[in-house]
Amino acid sequence: DAGITQSPRHKVTETGTPVTLRCHQTENHRYMYWYRQDPGHGLRLIHYSYGVKDTDKGEVSDGYSVSRSKTEDFLLTLESATSSQTSVYFCAIGQGAGNTIYFGEGSWLTVV
Amino acid sequence: GIQVEQSPPDLILQEGANSTLRCNFSDSVNNLQWFHQNPWGQLINLFYIPSGTKQNGRLSATTVATERYSLLYISSSQTTDSGVYFCAVGYNTDKLIFGTGTRLQVFP
């Protein structure tokens, strides 16, 4: 299994509060991704990173920011959580286009 | 952007049966991957298959890029095959677009 750790695994937070999810990898993969999974939508890309301090937006980036200060860590921040951001968040890593990607175990976030 | 459709949305099988899952995509791709999400939510990469055919045990996949579809075959299904199967595609990018999945339930 790819060495990917997501934290926290489960979180309940209140509307309007900031939340940060962390993805940590031990594989030294260049690319890291954050997806969200919702019923009826499959997985949708929020943001991704193609290197330290290099990030780009995905399909559903509004309301989210990311940072990557080290190869092994990719942080996803909800500046002011809303109920529509209740979801399961998956981190993934890969070597870039033409390569398989590997997922972490997911973080369940509930915004009340 | 590329649209991805998977069929059927749901599939119920008895152990030992065979099945075929389909993934149609709307534009050219050079990156196509199949994933299995088990009932505990874990996502496992099954195949990286932008074209051609691959086999891994009871699972095999075929992608016909010129006709814009991919098929995942599961033979002699087992209860551990239950879960959701996702197809994901991309073209000259590492931003994969996922289909909405096929939910498979295998009963003993």
Alpha-carbon torsion angle A97, A103, A107, A108, nearest 10: 100
pLDDT of residue A1: 54
Residues of B in contact with A41 (CB under 8 A): 100
Q: What's the CA gap between A74 and A6, in Å, rounded?
A: 10
Residues of A in contact with B30 (CB under 8 A): 97-98
pLDDT band at A2 (very low <50, low <70, confident <90, very high): low
What's the whole-number mean pLDDT along residues A31-38? 96
Q: Answer whether A94's CB lies under 8 Å from B94's CB.
A: yes
Mean model confidence pLDDT for chain B: 95
Query: A90 to chain B: nearest residue by CA?
Result: B43
pLDDT tens digit string along A47-62?
Answer: 999 999 999 999 999 9
Q: Is the pLDDT of residue A92 over 80?
A: yes
Query: B90 to chain A: nearest residue by CA?
Result: A97
Q: Is the pLDDT of residue A11 over 90?
A: yes
Q: What's the CA gap between B39 and B54, in Å, rounded?
A: 25
- A18 preceded by a cis bond (ω within 30 of 0): no
A79-88, B38-47, B66-75, B93-102: least confidently modelled range: B93-102
pLDDT of residue A97: 73
